[in-house]
A and B are shown apart, each in its own frame.
Chain A
Amino acid sequence: MAALKVHPKVYWIWNHRGWCLNNVPSGPGTEDEGDPRGWEKDLWNKRVVCVLAWSYRRVVLASMPIPRPETSELAYTTRKIEANFSNFSAWHQRSKVLLSLWSKGELDPKNSREDEFDLVHDAMYTDPKDQSVWIYHPLARWFRSACFLPLSIQNSRDIQGDDKEILEREITIIQSLLDEEPDSKWCMESLVHYKSLLLRNHSLSANTSTLRRECIALLKQLREVDSGRKARYDEIELELAKS
């Protein structure tokens, strides 16, 4: 029994410590101390685009004597995303920095939201097949996962008040992308999601029968282009019928 052996490849549950030691070139306490840029550039040059590198970066940033301002961290993620839209770790880090800046009142959610939309639209149009951007889409953040935001921001009128106009604007933008990329499942999926939100949250002012019909047509197409996830689309359609 004692001899039960395991192939010593890197397992998720074990690899964390070892990975950091082996793959993050040089941490704080080395010649680069105080400036995460040195080792980080090295990191990126080696194309080690890895979630653990980002975790480590957060640890390093948090442990620096004078914390690096979050606004420059935000600018950093902008550069990373613009260099490669498909960098999910950078999008993730960005969501964390934004949330922190908003809740501290250091950034106005309403204005910065528009910047986020601009960035996301660039990314969507650059590579509509990349899922990072669709998961990150600002509406996704605010509406898909409202509980992710602190209550103070969730309830602020800035976020809630113009929600219908934003939904409609995003639907228009995604629709025109779908016209160019008629097979894009991400476009269709997002359209269904945002149209369902209009139906659910603005049923008095929206044209409900048209919206419902459009959703059903999109779901039919989704079952064809993304047949593996058919069961989920069936379920959304059932929900739609109930609403």
Chain B
Amino acid sequence: MSKELDTLLVPLHVSYIQNLGKNKDDLMYHLTAHLRMNAIYWGLTALCTMNHRDALDRDEMVEYVMSCWDEEAGGFGAHPDHDAHILSTLSAIQILLTQDAIDRLDIDRVVKFILSLQQPSGVFAGDSFGEIDTRFSYIAVNALSLLGRLGDLDADKTVGYIVQCRNFDGGFGSRVGAESHAAQVFVCCAALTILDKLDEIDTPTLSWWLAERQLPNGGLNGRPEKLEDVCYSFWVLASLSMLKKVHYINSDKLTSFILSAQDPEGGGIADRPGDMVDVFHTHFGVAGLSILGYPGLVDLDPVYCMPAALIEKMGLRKGWQALERRAG
């Protein structure tokens, strides 16, 4: 590892995120329209975790979110002319809450949109086209909880489907029959945590499987025999923090791995050292470091993937455990 990569380059990452919003002529801008709302949420949350919440203009952000409202569906699209999708709807809710602008939201309509996506089996679809996945179940549970409307959800039916996705290795898949994957483990653990159904998880087996995600170079992979990737730092660590087993991971080695994937010139974090950086891996890399107690970062709630202080203030904090924050 080069010398400059042994610390988190906070000012560089902040300016990297600020600069992402500046070039509309770029081809990437048009290619990634379907990710815009998520990208803003990733950028904002990364800034909050690095204690630079005001680095992006709040009012401009709130106006952009509101311009993506799909009046017909009652949810948010990723871009002003896009149909509502549950992914961008959750991101919109998270942004509005973080920016203290939730009063702009027609909560009843959004709740109705989310509930309309639940299928007879108990799983959720992402939009009216009907692709189903346990990650949509998590998103629905997360969003309803944030809006204080979990009581409107058929929780037994929701949990019933998630439990059917549990595998012999203790993990969870994207749908009934699908194999375990760390990101899918995260969404199922978090949904069960929010619904107070953590007893549906086989903790010893799952925490063993999660601990085995760490590779000799310190990075984490998503499934056995696969390559490491910075974003799994979050999926695996957040799951372990809900099971109170973050200490199963070697923190020093993972910290070095995440830091080594930084771009020391332009800022940002890549999926692994030497690759092109992006806001997704920047956010999940910083999020992973926060759970590991990296000095100077702000606590992130691993269940909701939002600033912990905000979740605590809303009375939604669950019994997760991160590593203690180290002094800088």
A interface list, Cβ under 8 A from B: 1-9, 11-14, 16-17, 51, 54-55, 58, 86, 88-89, 92-93, 95-96, 130-132, 135-136, 140-141, 144-145, 147-148, 227-232
* Segment among B112-120, B165-173, B308-316 that sits at the interface with chain A: B165-173
Beyond the given pairs A4-B40, A230-B250, 10 more chain A to chain B contacts, judged by CB atoms under 8 angstroms and listed by A's residue number, are A1-B60, A2-B79, A5-B39, A8-B28, A12-B183, A13-B38, A86-B225, A131-B225, A136-B169, A144-B204
B20 at the interface (CB under 8 A from A): yes
Residues of B within 8 A of A230 (CB): 250
Choose one: A3, A11, A55; the contact of B175 (CB below 8 Å): A55
Min distance, Cβ B44 to any Cβ of chain A, angstroms: 10
Residues of B within 8 A of A8 (CB): 28, 31-32, 35
Min distance, Cβ B65 to any Cβ of chain A, angstroms: 9
Q: Is the CB of A3 within 8 A of B168?
A: no
Q: Is the CB of B87 within 8 A of A13?
A: yes
A141 vs B23: C-alpha distance in the bound complex, in angstroms? 53
Choose one: A13, A14, A144, A231; the contact of B170 (CB below 8 Å): A144
Q: Is the CB of B248 within 8 A of A1?
A: no
Q: Lowest 4 CB-CB distances: which A-B pairs, in order?
A: A7-B278, A92-B179, A228-B250, A6-B32
* Segment among B188-196, B208-216, B286-294, B295-303 that sits at the interface with chain A: B208-216
B276 at the interface (CB under 8 A from A): yes
A7 vs B133: C-alpha distance in the bound complex, in angstroms? 24
Residues of A within 8 A of B67 (CB): 2
Q: Is the CB of B212 within 8 A of A144?
A: no
Binary A-proximity of B142-179 (CB < 8 A = 1, otherwise 0): 00000000000000000000000011111001110111
Q: Is the CB of B169 within 8 A of A145?
A: yes
Q: Is the CB of A88 within 8 A of B179?
A: yes
Residues of B within 8 A of A58 (CB): 177-178
A96 vs B173: C-alpha distance in the bound complex, in angstroms? 12
Q: Is the CB of B167 within 8 A of A95?
A: yes
Can you name 20 A-B pairs with beta carbons within 8 Å? Answer: A2-B24, A3-B22, A3-B23, A3-B24, A4-B43, A7-B276, A7-B280, A13-B87, A16-B174, A51-B181, A55-B177, A95-B167, A96-B177, A141-B168, A145-B168, A145-B170, A145-B205, A229-B248, A231-B247, A232-B207
Q: Is the CB of A1 within 8 A of B64?
A: yes
Number of interface residues of B (CB under 8 A): 71
**Given A8-B28, A9-B276, A228-B253, A14 contacting B225 (CB threshold 8 A):** no
B265 at the interface (CB under 8 A from A): no
A95 vs B127: C-alpha distance in the bound complex, in angstroms? 31
Q: Which residue of B lies closest to A232 (CB)?
A: B248
Q: Is the CB of B32 within 8 A of A5?
A: yes
Residues of B within 8 A of A148 (CB): 166-168, 202
**Given A92-B179, A95-B168, A6 contacting B211 (CB threshold 8 A):** no
Residues of B within 8 A of A6 (CB): 28, 32, 35-36, 38-39, 278-280
Q: Is the CB of B183 within 8 A of A51?
A: no
Residues of B within 8 A of A2 (CB): 21, 24, 36, 64, 67, 79-80
**Given A12-B183, A16-B174, A51-B178, A140 contacting B39 (CB threshold 8 A):** no
Choose one: B36, B135, B183, B271; the contact of A4 (CB below 8 Å): B36
Residues of A within 8 A of B178 (CB): 51, 54-55, 58
Q: Which residue of A lies closest to B250 (CB)?
A: A228
**Given A148-B166, A232-B211, A16 contacting B87 (CB threshold 8 A):** no
B29 at the interface (CB under 8 A from A): yes
